Structure 1
Amino acid sequence: MISWRKHYKKGLIAIGLLLSTGASVYAQGDPKKGQELFKANCTACHALDKKVVGPALGGVVEKVKKDGQDVDWLHKWISNNEKLRASGDAYANKIYEENGKVAMQVFEGKLSDQDIDDILEYTTNPPKEEPAAEAEGATAVDTTASIEAAKAQQLNSKIMIAALIAIAGLLFWLLLKIRQLVKIQQSPELSELNSTRVVSFSALYEKYSFVGKGIVGLLALFAAYGVWNWLMWVGVYKGYAPEQPIYFSHKIHAGENKIDCQLCHSGAKYGKVSEIPSLNVCMNCHRSISEYKGKYIEPGKDREFYTSQIKTLYAHVGWDESKQAYTGKTEPVEWTRIHNMPDFVYFNHSQHVVAGEQAIINSFNAKQKDASNKIDVVCKACHGKIDTMNVVQMANNFTMGWCIDCHRTTEVDMNNGYNKEYFKNLHDKLKKQYGEGSKITVDAIGGLECGKCHY
């Protein structure tokens, strides 16, 4: 009997150890590594606290256990969900049906068992977000700035008081001098002298009429020049940066996230006009990016502000975030156009982007004395460094003279596939006309012909 009890106790201990080991298999992962793996592989379709394309994954291990599955099932699902569903696994096919039959990416060969354990540990015990150092730095800077501002205000007050005292003293001195002048004018000697002087403007003009006519003529010339100069700048809006109905930072999208200009403005390469992207283009990314978590924050704004603009986008396209579906209720966005050529001007984006891309970049960079002003994308030659702008502004004058100057200084790239084919019969003529090895600029191939831009 004693022997049986002894073995019974040992059996209970063994079973307890086995159960505790099986329950903590996933807990052997590293939540910090899991967080990195989750961001790299999962965030396009999943979040911890809400449904995106796929279900919320916070506490997924416990959820699966409640449904009668174990961690080993999760390993199989994450590794190759297609194989698991094809095997006839009822629970796998149920999950597939519940999430709109959207197939999950296969990670077999990409994620090891340890990687999956790390991800599962992150979904179970996500590490607390450390307070951003930049926020602490900003607070310290704000405190210092407040102290400096208070000191500056105090100094300005003292200067203002001193200036008022000085002005009061000056006024008192002027009053005394005026009193003295009045007394002098009342003397008989000065009255006799005043009788011989010019005392009216008409008399003064009559005496010095040639000087007056000269001054009037100069004023007329200055006025004419002013009117001419004003007329020459009609329609020139360099620096124009209007507010838009949805705040869109090119610095975040093109600068911080390195999104290619032509991903959104595809018409710049294949058409005359570089169109304003439709909101469907925005939703290609923001269907799964519903809140801003980037490191860059513009002074005076916060992450909540950027997230609110994403929500505004959802409202305009009619996207129901909770159901991950479109409602059909849309509201057009009235963007304010910034760059707009007059109707009498013809400009083709694709001609410059395809045929003139490298030539324009080389010509622009050759003019820059400071290396930091050089460009790597042809768009920046005309539109400025868009990837540094929070609010887009017109970077150049876009006058006729500005375009002509570019045509006179930009060397044609004859090795470009387009130019090589299009001007193949013109090469010899240009060499004879300008000499072997001469610099052939755009004006030599019709870049200054009126009909090229005006029709």
Structure 2
Amino acid sequence: MISWRKHYKKGLIAIGLLLSTSASIYGQDGDPKNGEKLFKANCTACHALDKQVVGPALKGVVDRLKTEQGLDTDWLHKWIKDNKALRASGDKYANEVFEKFNKTEMQVFPNLADKDIDDILAYTTNPPVEEPKADPAATTATDTANAAPANNTTSSIVIISLIAIAGLLVWILVKLRQLVKLGQSEELTGLNETRVKSFSEIYEKYHYIGKGLLAVLAILATYGIWNWIMWIGVYKGYKPEQPIYFSHKIHAGENKIDCQLCHSSAKYGKVSEIPSMNVCMNCHRTISEYNGKYIEPGKDKAFYDGEIQKIYAATGWDAEKQQYTGKTTPVEWTRIHNMPDFVYFNHSQHVVAGEQAIINSFNKKNPDNKIDVVCKACHGKIDTMNVVQMANDFTMGWCIECHRTTEIDMNNGYNKEYFKNLHEKLKKQYPKDGGKITVDAIGGLECGKCHY
């Protein structure tokens, strides 16, 4: 009897240990939904569930470590919180992982509580199943069925309209036949003999009117040729296709990426330059597929994923091995904005010195279409464009008009010091709007400012 109780007690203890170990192994003691949020906030820069990125794929990592290395979740807690300390302690597997992934140091997360880590591990073990999306084909079929009565009504209206048009044509033919018979009468025959029958006779009779019309036509032709010449090189609305599709709406609009993160030279150089592919790889080294909510009409996720693969092909990036192959392919971008060689334009002068003045002037002139970034004053609402286009004329007159209407902030440190001896003189010389000074007052219309 005592022996049976002893074995029963041991059995309960073993079952309890097995259940607790199993729960720990398979990550079921955490909340997968909360783990998903934590995973996306802390881990997705370097990890994915189903594939290697900077670090290994994490789906089933708890079970994999237990099976392959005999390690439990305590080791994962130590690794996630401070992998550097774990490696420094001489842990064999921690150092093997470090060597395997090119000695890329994982960020430490001392801020994550044990419960947070358990939630993340639960998500990697049993990720929540996404709700199935509505089938577009089924939706279309339903819409088509609902639209069937309306289509029948429309067909009836079209048939009635065609019958009415046919009747009208028959009536017109009858009237034309009557007119032909009338033209064969003796009265009309006599009138036809008195009519002018050649162009020369008409010209002799109405030569003053003819010369006047020719003069008007010559003036209109001259104006047309002049207008055509003046608009050579003006390509407002020009939006060519590029070798790699790049949506500014997704990057600058949906994801709020600062313009100067990619076009960094616009702030410190004459030209803004086209970002190199290495700039793209700063993000796309870990973003190998598109998972955004916004999808442009006519496009789908597969399309965007294919464009990301073009970036990898151009840079020679092997996403599976997470390393460069050395085989690169230049990307032949089609330039959109291109000033003539005889025009000098400095981006930094406008982006830095004139930034606030340009924004204030634009918003004052366009109260219903205000901007928050100086780039939009010239390039338009770039964060709403899927395909970039030339938003303005970029003619000499367009630039001059901006210089005449953009007020300078004479109170900023540079202008206040540089123009301190001229400030009062300029106020008297340009008394418009209570002494406000615009760009043209400080040389903004001098030819040598923009032309060599």
> What TM bracket, shorter-length normalisation?
over 0.9
Partner SS, residue 217 of structure 1 = helix
Partner of 1:343: 341
Cα offset, 1:9, TM superposition? 1.8
Cα offset, 1:302, TM superposition? 1.2
Q: Find the aligned partners of 2:151 and 2:242 in 1 and give their Cα distance.
A: 35
Partner of 1:121: 122
Q: Is contact 1:355–1:419 with CA below 8 Å preserved after alignment?
A: no
Q: Find the aligned partners of 2:147 and 2:312 in 1 and give their Cα distance.
A: 41
Deviations 1:409-446 (A, max 9, x none): 00011233333344344323323433595110000001
Match of 1:394 among 381, 390, 393: 390
Amino acid in structure 1 at the alignment position of 2:438: T
Q: Find the aligned partners of 2:144 and 2:418 in 1 and give their Cα distance.
A: 64
Amino acid in structure 1 at the alignment position of 2:5: K
Q: Find the aligned partners of 1:324 and 1:246 in 2 and give their Cα distance.
A: 22
Match of 1:426 among 422, 445, 448: 422
Q: Is contact 1:355–1:416 with CA below 8 Å preserved after alignment?
A: no
Q: Find the aligned partners of 2:370 and 2:138 in 1 and give their Cα distance.
A: 35
Amino acid in structure 1 at the alignment position of 2:279: V
| 1:58-207 correspondence to structure 2 within 5 Å | 58-66=59-67, 67-108=69-110, 110-132=111-133, 142-143=140-141, 146=144, 165-166=163-164, 168-207=166-205
Partner of 1:15: 14
Match of 1:278 among 276, 286, 309: 276
Amino acid in structure 2 at the alignment position of 1:49: D
Deviations 1:114-136 (A, max 9, x none): 0000000001001111234xx56
| 1:368-407 correspondence to structure 2 within 5 Å | 368-370=366-368, 373-407=369-403
Q: Find the aligned partners of 2:163 and 2:304 in 1 and give their Cα distance.
A: 50
Query: Which structure 1 segments of 5+ residues have no match?
Result: none
Partner SS, residue 126 of structure 1 = coil
Partner SS, residue 191 of structure 1 = helix
Give the CA RMSD over aligned residues: 2.3
| 1:155-304 correspondence to structure 2 within 5 Å | 165-166=163-164, 168-304=166-302
| Gap change, CA 1:140 and 1:399, over 3 Å in 2 | farther
| Gap change, CA 1:421 and 1:159, over 3 Å in 2 | farther
Q: Is contact 1:236–1:397 with CA below 8 Å preserved after alignment?
A: yes
Moved more, 180-189 or 38-47: 180-189
Deviations 1:34-85 (A, max 9, x none): 0110010001111111111111111111111121111111111111111111
Q: Find the aligned partners of 2:157 and 2:223 in 1 and give their Cα distance.
A: 41
Q: Find the aligned partners of 1:206 and 1:98 in 2 and give their Cα distance.
A: 99
Q: Is contact 2:428–2:435 with CA below 8 Å preserved after alignment?
A: no
Partner of 1:442: 439
Does 2:322 match 1:324? yes
Identity %: 71
Aligned length: 448
Amino acid in structure 2 at the alignment position of 1:45: C
Cα offset, 1:218, TM superposition? 1.8
| Gap change, CA 1:255 and 1:141, over 3 Å in 2 | farther
Q: Find the aligned partners of 1:153 and 1:229 in 2 and give their Cα distance.
A: 48
Query: Which structure 2 segments of 5+ residues have no match?
Result: none
Q: Find the aligned partners of 1:86 and 1:319 in 2 and give their Cα distance.
A: 32
Partner of 1:24: 23
| Gap change, CA 1:398 and 1:151, over 3 Å in 2 | farther
| Gap change, CA 1:72 and 1:188, over 3 Å in 2 | closer
TM-score by length of 1: 0.92
Q: Find the aligned partners of 2:126 and 2:448 in 1 and give their Cα distance.
A: 69
Q: Find the aligned partners of 1:148 and 1:426 in 2 and give their Cα distance.
A: 74
Q: Is contact 1:262–1:269 with CA below 8 Å preserved after alignment?
A: yes
Q: Is contact 2:244–2:310 with CA below 8 Å preserved after alignment?
A: yes
Match of 2:313 among 312, 315, 319: 315
Amino acid in structure 2 at the alignment position of 1:18: L
Cα offset, 1:101, TM superposition? 1.2
Partner SS, residue 24 of structure 1 = helix
Amino acid in structure 2 at the alignment position of 1:405: E
TM-score by length of 2: 0.93
